[in-house]
Structure 1
Amino acid sequence: MKTGRLLAFIVIAGSLGYSLSLLRPVAAEKVAWEMRAPAPMPRTEVSAAVLDGKIYLVGGFTKEGVTSRVEMYDPATDRWTSRASMPVALHHAGAAVLNGKLYIVGGLEGGRSWKPSSGLWEYDPRTDRWTAKREMPTARGALGVGVSEGKLYAVGGLGATRPFELLGNTGANEAYDPATDRWEKKAPLPTPRDHLAVAVVNGKIHAIGGRFNSDYSENLALHHIYDPAANRWGEAAPLPKPRSGIAAAVLNGKIYLFGGEAPQGTFADNDVYDPATQQWESAPPMPTPRHGLGAATIGNQIFVIAGGPRPGGSVSSTNEVFRAE
């Protein structure tokens, strides 16, 4: 082989090897997101929670209006089944699980009037029945809900403090004890807001993001932490950017915050807060940007379901699962 050809071969082979070296990390990279069976009914502004290893998707907006429909997803079989519908159609409600029961908290009734609800509904998976429990002191929707030390906490939201008053923000923080079927008022959220997310880590309640008066042009990056033992709020590292219409889930002691909306569009963001370092980091974004979605953790996975792909009243049946590294 002549010297010129030999040099050309070396250059080409070297370039090819360099190109392949660039491809190897991509080929070996772990896939963070996977698609799963879509929800039977496309919707947004849903409630979602995990009970007995199954995800319950409750209420929300559909193309036909507000629904009371309940669908259960089994990740082991990747299948959906219908369960007993709620006695009332709700959107923007909160969801939590306590003592083997599913609770749907507050919400808004009606597609246009957006009447705040003070209702608390308990679902028993063994009987497939809903039972009305003691109502919240403060009627509201677009609230955040979390569980700490055997009690359910309803935080913030959109409500009316007086009859016939226009909807506005409330900083109400009210705790429900299922053992006594009673609510107790606690220290209010320092900055009243709606469309926020709530997550609980090590017994502390994190209230993250949100907006003022249901206006997503007034999104917030606020992050407050509530200590139930001290009945006191404190501030924490704000979100990397203001977001509302979001969903939160906890995995391996960290808070994952998904989606949201603003006038310019919906967000695919997946931000992670580590209470140990008190810092936010970016994780692989959702394949499908959405707001008004539900998020639920099972094992080492977070399922992110339904929600609107466009700001406002759009709907989807998307079911995407995230695996943390």
Structure 2
Amino acid sequence: MPLAPGAPVVQVWVDGQLFQADRALLVEHCDFFRGLFRSGMREARAAEVHLGALSAGGFGTALRVLRGERPALAADDEELLQAVECAAFLQAPALARFLEHSVTSDNCVLLCEAAAAFGLRDVFHGAALCVRDGAPELRAQLALPEARDYVAALRPSRYVALTTHTPAPGFLEDASRTMCYLDEEGDAWRTLAALPLEASTMLAGVATLGNKLYIVGGVRGAGKEVVERGFCYDPDGDTWRPFPSPHQPRYDTALAGFDGRLYAIGGEFDRTPMSSVERYDPSAGRWSFVADLPQPAAAVPCAQARGRLFVCLWRPADTTAVLEYAARADAWLPVAELRRPQSYGHCMVAHRDGLYVVRNGPSDDFLHCAIDRLDLATGQWTSLPGQFVNSKGALFTAVVRGDTVYTVNRVATLLYAIEGGTWRLHREKIGFPRPGSLQTFLLRLPPGAPGPVATPLPEL
């Protein structure tokens, strides 16, 4: 039976199962259906489409993703393989992105090899990075020579730290104005690169995007004069280059690299908190304003989970509010709230479906940190057992690499293993040898001789 012109629903038979699908949705997101319905062939006018090459489970997952859902994928091989096969056959970028953001240490080997076999390059690359940064036994599980060779050629991510610096006079050599990375095998912090003399990391936004480091909005002097230029570091060439600052001068801003863009979120100017947010497109070299935060805020904790960008805002009555930036709608959407006494937060990190909000503990002792976990799938909060003491726990800054949380201060660098939603102290390394507040991140460094060991410097 022919399909009426412009009919909104099409019936799709897959592996003996019937699906009712929105025609416009299929055309928008799948190159296969776009080509089919616009081909002028008899099949393009049929009321039913038969897809004999796919599984019903994979197609059902695809439809849910295209409709904006985030289905939980089981760790079993069959469901993941069906989803990969469907993404490749339908040529559905949205499903491929969903798979890329679903990579974990539990499924990275399977997704790496399946994506290689079906030609999903971005999923293959993302899964390979997860394998490279994971335990050595993950690499040993790879069977495809193509996957093994690709993973072996990748560089592991390194834990990098940067302390507080203001612009330096050209005649004054300051050995402390350097970025350092953790040499885990040698248990030492090594010098990576010196900061440009004009760069300031005091109250600056620091983030990575495309394996490059960006610094925005530092200040100089007691009057907090905003440094006009931002700086970008490329580890591949060991080079710095300036790039434009946001239209609105701002310091103590949160900087996030998300979906190929930089976001400068909130901050202060003239000692006044702001709600404005700007987005930087590296390919165009331009900043543009996007939706404001619902309230003025500085030093906003932010994290990314499953390809989504989240921030934490602190509100009166001891309330922690988590919001998500919806790029297509250009809006900040409420996700969850948490009521805790003295809920001033230090940072937020993400692991799989969990957001971990690190804040001061339930007493007046600000050396104690408490951690609450928000399950994004259920919307439920849970408190992690125990408290962490910052004199050793180093939880004012944290970064997640694989299934490990890296934290650091001058006393120690602590690595926590995330297991079942809890943190367990896994390893302890040497503390950061420089004074000042720390910003930490991950970079994939080029091969070569390690930098010199960063020598300890006295407190100012």
The normalised TM-score by structure 1 is: 0.68
Which residue, out of 178, 189, 192, partners 2:296? 192
Equivalent residue, structure 2, for 1:264: 364
Unpaired stretches in structure 2, ≥5 consecutive residues = 1-154, 167-175, 420-460
- The answer on whether the counterparts of 2:303 and 2:310 sit within 8 Å (CA) in structure 1 is yes
Pair 184,317 (structure 1): closer, same or farther in 2 beyond 3 Å = farther
Counterpart of 2:417, as a letter, is R
Corresponding residue for residue 14 of structure 1: none
Quote the residue 2:258 is aligned against.
148
Pick aligned residue for 1:225 from 312, 320, 324? 324
225-234 or 125-134: which moved more?
Answer: 125-134
Instruction: Sort the Cα spacing of 1:134 and 1:276 in 2 relative to 1 into closer, same or farther, 3 A.
Output: same
User: Which string of whole-angstrom CA distances, capped at 9 and with x for unpartnered residues, describes residues 235-284 of structure 1?
Assistant: 12223425445122221232222245999332411222221112222124
Query: Distance between the aligned counterparts of 2:214 and 2:250, measured in 1?
Result: 15
Letter in 2 for 1:202: R
Match of 2:145 in 1: none
- Once residues 283 and 108 of structure 1 are traced to their aligned partners in structure 2, the CA distance between those partners, rounded to angstroms, is 36
Q: How does 1:296-315 map to 2 (within 5 A)?
A: 296-306=399-409
Q: 1:320 aligns with which of 414, 423, 426?
A: 414
Counterpart residue number, 1:164: none
The aligned counterpart of 2:183 is 74
Aligned counterparts of 2:228 and 2:411: Cα–Cα separation in 1: 28
Hey, what's the Cα distance between the residues in 1 that align with 2:305 and 2:337? Answer: 17
Partner of 2:281: 177
Instruction: Indicate how the Cα distance of structure 1 residues 296 and 192 shifts in structure 2: closer, same or farther if over 3 A, else same.
Output: same
Greater share of residues in strand? 1
* Cα pair 2:229 2:245 within 8 Å, conserved: yes
Contact 1:56 1:71 in 2 (8 A): yes
Task: Give, as a single letter, the amino acid of the residue that structure 2 aligns with 1:264.
Answer: D
* Residues 111-260 of structure 1 aligned to structure 2 (within 5 Å): 112-117=222-227, 119-160=229-270, 167-210=271-314, 221-241=320-340, 242-244=342-344, 246-260=346-360
- Structure number with the bigger relative contact order (C-alpha 8 A, sep ≥ 6) is 1
Q: Which has the higher helix share?
A: 2
Letter in 2 for 1:80: W
Equivalent of residue 158 in structure 2, options 46, 54, 63? 54
Task: Assess if the C-alpha contact under 8 Å between 1:109 and 1:116 holds in 2.
Answer: yes
Partner of 1:86: 195
- Please list, as runs of the form range in 1=range in 2, the aligned pairs for 1:275-314 lying within 5 A after superposition: 275-284=376-385, 285-288=387-390, 293-306=396-409
Letter aligned with residue 250 of structure 2: R
| Distance in 2 separating the partners of 1:169 and 1:291 | 27
CA distance in 1, matches of 2:165, 2:315: 20
Across the aligned residues of Structure 1 and Structure 2, the Cα RMSD in angstroms comes to 3.1
- Cα distance change on mapping 1:157 and 1:239 into 2, 3 Å: farther
User: How much has 1:132 moved relative to structure 2?
Assistant: 1.0
Counterpart in 1 of 2:66?
Answer: none
User: TM-score, with normalisation over the residues of structure 2?
Assistant: 0.49
Deviations 1:159-194 (A, max 9, x none): 23xxxxxx1111121111111221111000011111
| Cα displacement string for residues 75-111 of structure 1 (whole angstroms, at most 9, x for unaligned residues) | 454331112222223222222221221112223333x
Contact 2:165 2:177 in 1 (8 A): no
Percent identical pairs in the alignment equals 24
Structure number with bigger Rg: 2
Q: C-alpha separation between the residues in 2 aligned to 1:72 and 1:263? A: 34
